[in-house]
């Protein structure tokens, strides 16, 4: 069975999106890169405002309407993989192991490579500020939280390793 899905889980500004782009460049077959940011951008702005609360310090609280759309989106990503697409998922497991379980259930029967993307929280915080499109504090708040009790096939650390080197390490594990 060939790998159909690569799930990259890491906190905000940990380097997941850069790794996903590099994976698309180094993997021999075409792969779609989809992430939680894709989902958020597809949602109505009113829902983003009403159902996603960001506390001072960057802690996120997600409401039921967001969760309903997220569940449908996860099933949709799984359906694309079942239909033959190879998919890189750029995700932030705010619910840690419970988030992974939702994905595992949807992706059942597919070959999935689970990758933890780690980054020192101070480095991620610096990236967050440089990006200018994130609430300050999200990177620190999420750096460890998203990995709690999550089981990976492989972990990479972008603190001192470039996205391309991480992508090559991941690509070496893809069937």
Contact 62, 94 (CB under 8 A): yes
Q: Which of 29, 37, 51, 153 is catalytic?
A: 37
pTM of the model: 0.93
Active site residue 153: no
The span from the CA of 126 to the CA of 128, in Å, is: 5
Q: Which residue has the tokens 């951008």?
A: 41
SS3 call for 128: helix
- In tens, the pLDDT along 84-103 reads 999 999 999 999 999 999 99
- In tens, the pLDDT along 8-48 reads 999 999 999 999 999 999 999 999 999 998 998 999 988 88
């Amino acid at each position: 069975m060939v790998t159909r899905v690569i799930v990259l889980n890491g906190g905000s500004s940990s380097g997941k999106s850069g790794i996903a782009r590099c994976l698309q460049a180094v993997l021999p077959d075409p792969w779609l890169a989809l992430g939680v940011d894709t989902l958020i951008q597809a949602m109505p702005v009113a829902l983003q405002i009403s159902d996603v609360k960001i506390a001072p310090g960057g802690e996120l609280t997600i409401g039921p309407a967001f969760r309903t759309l997220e569940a449908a989106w996860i099933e949709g990503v799984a359906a694309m993989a079942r239909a033959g697409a190879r998919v890189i998922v750029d995700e932030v497991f705010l619910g840690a192991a419970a988030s992974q379980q939702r994905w595992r259930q949807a992706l059942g029967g597919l070959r999935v490579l689970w990758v933890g993307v780690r980054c020192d929280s101070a480095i991620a915080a610096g990236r967050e500020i440089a990006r200018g499109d994130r609430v300050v504090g999200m990177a620190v708040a999420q750096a460890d939280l998203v990995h709690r009790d999550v089981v990976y096939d492989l972990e990479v650390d972008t603190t001192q390793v470039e996205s391309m080197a991480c992508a090559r390490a991941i690509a070496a594990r893809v069937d």
